[in-house]
Amino acid sequence: MDETVLLVGGGGREHAIARSLADSEASLYACAGNRNPGIARLADGFETLEETNPTAVRSYAEEVDATLAVVGPEAPLEAGVADALDDAGVYAFGPQQDEARIETDKAFQRRFMRQHDIPGCPDFETFDDREAACEYIDSYEGDLVVKPAGLTGGKGVRVVGDQVTAEEAKEYIRESDYDRIVLEERLIGEEFTVQAFVANGQLRVTPSVQDHKRAHEGDKGPNTGGMGSYSDDALELPFMTEEEYMDAVDVLRATVDALDGYKGVLYGQFMLTTDGVNVVEFNARFGDPEAMNTLPVMGTDLLDVLVAAREGESLPKLRFSREATVCKYAVPDGYPTNPAGGTRIDIDEESAGDALLYYASVEERGDGVYTTTSRSFAVVGVAESITTAEEIAEEAIAAAGESGLRVRHDIGKPELVQQRIDHMAELRGE
């Protein structure tokens, strides 16, 4: 198969995508604002450029004679990079700018769900007047979630009754520079993610994953881009049933049916509550870190999915190994509020042992790889159980050392997984 694939993006998610494509019968090129050393070692070429500049990305795609492209992050999608690639005759596996609004505009996302009767939509209102939003908080009976309508890298949400009080939420709104705000009911339960490959009106789903947004162990501290995640050896997670997983898939299917011409990955973040499965949000691309849980256990060739999507063919059925995964991110001290970069990272693919290593936001210098001010690298254990996968990830973290770095060691540990099970059992009255 004579294909040349361009990968747009330089984070841990893109490193996982690059690794999935590296064994395919295709040439791989990459471009991003940062030079990810893991991707660079896998690719035939790597261009450092502004990945939100459609013209620059299109020019590089034409330079390398790309026949396919995968757009990893959300910011290039919002900027219209997929549109520019499609217009140049390079099939981009990623939604065009208008379809990407399902993620990039949370006000649109909720109104879209309401308009098309997508199941799992919580009670919500949208505001372009900050004082009107504050008045709504005063009048609402119950706790609310404050969401900026635009992209915030997973760090803009504030939850009343958990992270902030109602008064602190109003102060947050008044002091922010957000021109549009979404207020929606706070959902109580357990969060999980299901990601789907989408093209030609079809979707192919992947196992569910649970991400951990909070910065510190015990789910404390501010929200981050994601400190780590785990998946089980089945489609569902230990705190849910297969039927509840399928309810989430039904939501994704209804959304794809309502989205005209959507292509790429549709990521559903769900809350399992006593009322069933509710939608926290949609994303228009693979999750980071969830891609690092999903892609290593996928037995279907990712290139086959991309080619079928471009050719208008039926997407191949996805195969996954019956293995669990645990992903743990190492981040610079002080992340996300006051991160201190410049720490040398003493880990590579060899010293990671049995774990998979994915570089994220790092800087490669002549004498090694150094942290920046965002998430640095992730290690992923893959094994027959969550417990064993967690142990593999921990061994890699120990080998890396933690000077200047911070890790949530509790992710994937039996105690935390059991807490999730007990929480849902308590909510159900079991």
* pLDDT tens track for 53-85: 999 999 999 999 999 999 999 999 999 999 999
State the pLDDT at residue 1. Answer: 58
CB 124 within 8 A of CB 184: yes
Residue of 289, 272, 227, 305 whose CA lies nearest to 70:
305
Sequence-ordered alpha helix ranges (H) in 64-210: 74-79, 81-87, 101-104, 106-115, 130-139, 166-175
Provide, for the chain, the percentages of residues in helix, strand and coil under a 3-state DSSP scheme, each rounded to the nearest 5. 30, 30, 40
Token pair 């700018």: residue = 97
CB atoms within 10 A of CB 3: 17
The conformation of residue 28, written as its DSSP 8-state character, comes to: E
The alpha-carbon radius of gyration of the chain (Å, integer) is: 21
Beta strands in 150-223 (DSSP E): 158-159, 181-185, 190-199, 202-205, 210-211, 214-216, 220-223
**CB distance 273 to 281 below 8 Å:** no
CB contact set of 117 (below 8 Å; sequence gap of 6+): 254
pLDDT of the residue at 138 = 94
Measured torsion, CA atoms of residues 6, 8, 11, 12, in degrees rounded to the nearest 10: -40
> How far is it, in rounded angstroms, from Cα 424 to Cα 414?
16
The answer to whether the Cα torsion of 197, 202, 205, 211 is positive or negative is positive
Q: Are 186 and 144 in contact (CB under 8 A)?
A: yes
30-45 pLDDT, tens per residue? 999 999 999 999 999 9
Assigned token pair, 113: 């769900």
CATH architecture label of 190-417? 2-Layer Sandwich (3.30)
Closest residue by Cα to residue 51 from 102, 92, 2, 99:
92
The CATH code of domain 3-96 reads 3.40.50.20
Enter the CATH code of domain 123-185: 3.30.1490.20
Three-class DSSP category at 17: helix
Terminal Cα distance for the chain, rounded: 54
pLDDT of residue 403: 87
pLDDT digit string, tens, across residues 126-144: 999 999 999 999 999 999 9
C-alpha closest to that of 285 among 86, 16, 23, 3: 16
Residues 79-101 as b/e (b if ≥16 CB within 10 A, e otherwise) read: bbbbbbbbebebbbbbbbbebbb
Structure-block tokens of residue 29: 């090129």
Provide block-wise average pLDDT over 10 residues at a time, the chain (430 residues): 93 98 94 96 98 98 98 98 98 98 95 97 94 94 92 84 92 91 95 98 98 96 95 98 98 96 97 97 97 98 98 98 98 95 92 96 92 96 98 95 92 98 96
Instruction: List, in sequence order, every residue forming a beta bridge with 34; answer none if it has no partner.
Output: none
Residues 407, 397 contacting (CB under 8 angstroms): yes
Q: Which residues pair with 81 in a beta bridge?
A: none
Amino acid at 189: G
Residue 114 near residue 121 (C-beta atoms within 8 A): yes
Instruction: Please name which of 108, 114, 112, 74 lies closest in space to residue 94, comparing C-alpha atoms.
Output: 74
Question: Residue 223 forms beta bridges with which residues?
Answer: 214
Rounded-to-integer distance, Cα 300 and Cα 279, Å:
28
Q: What's the pLDDT at 155?
A: 75
Copy the structure tokens of residue 129: 């007047």
**Cα dihedral angle (46, 49, 50, 51), rounded to 10 degrees?**
-20
Q: Any idea where the domains of the chain sit in the sequence?
A: 3-96, 123-185, 190-417
pTM of this structure? 0.95
Cα–Cα distance between 417 and 395 in angstroms, integer? Answer: 19
